[in-house]
Structure 1
């Protein structure tokens, strides 16, 4: 059975402060915040605002100068910091793996420190590699230098989850990888959270990343002062001030595409064949399916090529040179923005949706995506109208109250007509 916990733990920061000797101003000044169990909270703000310092004080990699930290209701401010860190997973940029240790040894560090048996550590390591999408037989004996950047980050997340901590802290964990890998890692984190329900505190300077993964976002000013702490929807539609608006930037409605997942829209099917199917069977399917094209899957049912009638005429007994390679796919946990970009990349009006191991699940077409954009824009318009109506009602109430005050109490006339 998996040893992953069902829920995370709440985190409470109370007047958390960090002062460095010789500095006139504190690096973090009197921050108070409540994070719910199982919630993903993202700290976003300009460089040097104190967001990473605040994160590191939660597991006391940086010791607070003042204030309290409670995890799951327990005050950990005075707990042995080494004991605390064994209960809090921590993932950083560039993974931070030990280069002289194998993947399995890196993942098993904390379980070994807290006294787990070798069979239990081995079982947990294989479970976690599977969880982050790496084949245990292939990767457990490799060293970090033998991994790509994305693979290293996956191992880093697996290591942070090894002892099944209720809390996971992530300090710009995907900041050092290329944009495509970063998108995939974000999707993977969303999928993991969907399964594990940990409490995650995530630091980034990228507001689009914050929108994509956060249940709530804390937009931080200098010294980690909270400019706004709310849901992505609320921040996009009602930024608290000009500072927050600067982070939202232009195109707020389009940024809302990051709030809807592919799993939440209509996924349709398309005719599929595999590389092992006879050519005549493939030709017959294309002729009878009513579709102009069919999707060729590899032996593991992963999308490989799009085939059209003309391609099969040119195949001459082999599919090696027939068809067009699938350029882009999206997972069920990808955002509609990812899907829209993939549709435009493939330039064919649809994108293939894949499951956890890259297997074919269905397709999402441009019409579905456009309809979703229209729904988001309409929701924004209705929200704006409702907000305007509330403002007008408030102004009318204030005007009425001022008029009542000017005329005096009921039954009392003005000067010259005193009763």
Structure 2
């Protein structure tokens, strides 16, 4: 893809984001679901306020009611008590079909209709609400471009012709097609492989930065919650809220033992999920392309002062790591030489993603790519380890401060016990 085309599409995506509907507040008041024949409610009097443009993650053990709570927001499951307000409007008694057309919904395994093309799937809700055909065609192209799929290549395909990750992207495009202020996502990335899941998470972070929707996201994976959420609601049984706070606050100050169980060991490493690759130094690295001649590649490697070089494919995506020994053994062809790039990260990936990718590729660095997989630079192990050490030092200082506070409190208590309430020493 030419740089001109990519730049034009970026401007187009920015224009789409600028004109789209932004998020709306969601208020849940004593929201309850009780199933006939059950002694206890499945969801018991949930009170929560979600800010406009906020991404809130529900996380909790299986069966705690998080998906039920989510589905009551768009009334796929009808509440038996309480109120739901979206943008200040009480939607509890609204026609549920009309309500769902105003709320995007993305689920695990995408939920695409197999007999419809990608374009027809995305166009479904805009068609239902009466958009004109020309506007629908333009919107399908906008949405595919927004989720990183070439409209010319993908809109005529059927779901069976897509990979799992591509299906999920189309599912998100369909959920956003009618420009809803609210997007509900029920474990949408749970059925794809870990690498694809990381990239889909990065894509959601990028989309949210552009669109500012209100997103409620359900997951059982606490690391995913930390990576994605502006705030996380840790839910107990019957959707009782154990803690509703920012990821950093939950990691550093869990409310109780139940929440601590979700945080688990290695809180400092989990905090790597709070820092993005774009927040640290991305450095350039010597590159060649598959079209370069062997002698040109050898000369560039020799002049680079490094022991390896990154080969890019015809679309300037990371392809292979080539070392000096690979070139010496190439004998005129690089077809079997070098090590394939197994993983890359985007600017929106977390430092934990980057660390895992470095360890997977075993090269001491990971390539950073743009929206369409094009090479941007690299992040190396030294940068990542410096970040880990900084987090560990922060944790050490916080632990020392907490210990000093406990000692001061004990000293004050001892003084009070010795002096008595009147300030005089006890006899």
TM norm structure 1: 0.93
After superposition, give the CA deviation of every residue in 1:373-403 in whole Å (9 maximum; x if it has no partner).
0111111222223333344444555555666
Task: Indicate the residue corresponding to 1:19 in structure 2.
Answer: 34
Contact 2:195 2:343 (8 Å CA) reproduced: no
> Relative to 1, partners in 2 of residues 1:395 and 1:69: Cα closer, same or farther, differing over 3 Å?
farther
Change (3 A) 1:414 1:250: closer
Q: Distance in 1 between matches of 2:426 and 2:331?
A: 102
Deviations 1:67-113 (CA, angstroms, capped at 9, x unpaired): 11111112211222111111110011111111111111111111011
Residue 235 of structure 2 corresponds to: 220
Residue 71 of structure 1 aligns with which residue? Answer: 86
Structure 2 residue ranges without an equivalent (≥5): 1-14
Distance 1:58 1:388 in 2: 43
Task: Tell me which of 127, 132, 140 is aligned to 1:125.
Answer: 140
State the SS of the aligned residue for 1:104: helix
Q: Higher mean Cα deviation, 304-313 or 338-347?
A: 304-313
The C-alpha deviation readout for 1:347-371, integer Å capped at 9, x for no partner, is 1211111111111110111100000
Q: Pick which of 304-313 and 367-376 moved more.
A: 304-313
Contact 1:212 1:335 in 2 (8 A): yes
Alignment of 1:316-395 (within 5 A): 316-395=331-410
Answer yes or no: is the 8 Å Cα contact 2:420–2:426 preserved in 1: no
Instruction: After TM superposition, list the pairs within 5 Å mapping 1:190-201 onto structure 2.
Output: 190-201=205-216
Cα distance in 2 for partners of 1:179, 1:21 equals: 39
**Counterpart-to-counterpart distance in 2, 1:373 and 1:414:** 51
Determine the structure 2 residue equivalent to 1:285.
300
**Given that residues 261 and 333 in structure 1 are in contact (C-alpha distance below 8 angstroms), is that contact kept between their aligned partners in structure 2?**
yes
CA distances 1:239-272 after superposition (whole Å, capped 9, x unpaired): 1111111111111111111111111111111111
Secondary structure in structure 2 of the residue aligned to 1:108? helix
Q: Return the alpha-carbon distance in structure 1 between the equivalents of residues 174 and 309 of structure 2.
A: 41
Pairing 1:154-233 to 2, within 5 Å after superposition:
154-233=169-248
- Length, aligned pairs only: 412
Question: 1:307 offset after TM fit, Å?
Answer: 2.1
1:328/1:342 contact within 8 Å kept: yes
Distance 1:95 1:359 in 2: 26
The question of whether the paired residues in 2 share the 8 Å contact of 1:407 and 1:414 is answered with: no
Partners of 2:241 and 2:123 lie apart in 1 by 37
Aligned-residue Cα RMSD (Å) equals: 2.0
Give the 3-state SS of the residue equivalent to 1:100 in structure 2.
coil
Judge conservation of contact 2:57–2:218 (CA < 8 Å) in 1.
Answer: yes
Kindly indicate whether residue 326 of structure 2 is the aligned counterpart of residue 297 of structure 1: no
Partner of 2:46: 31
* Kept in 2: contact 1:274–1:298 (CA 8 A): yes
* 1:130–1:136 CA contact under 8 A, matched in 2: yes
Q: d(CA) in 2 for partners of 1:306 and 1:149?
A: 27
From 122, 126, 137, the counterpart of 1:107: 122
Q: Partners in 1 of 2:145 and 2:115 — Cα distance? A: 23
Q: 1:84 to 1:391 in 2, by over 3 A?
A: farther
State the 1:176 CA deviation: 1.5
1:388/1:5 CA distance change after superposition, 3 Å = farther
- Offset of 1:291 from its aligned partner? 1.7
Q: 2:105 aligned to 76, 79, 90, which one?
A: 90
User: Displacement, 1:312?
Assistant: 2.7
The C-alpha deviation readout for 1:307-348, integer Å capped at 9, x for no partner, is: 233333333443323322222211111111111111111112
SS in 2 for 1:310: helix
| 1:2 maps onto 2:16 in alignment | yes
The answer as to whether partners of 1:218 and 1:228 remain within 8 angstroms in 2 is yes
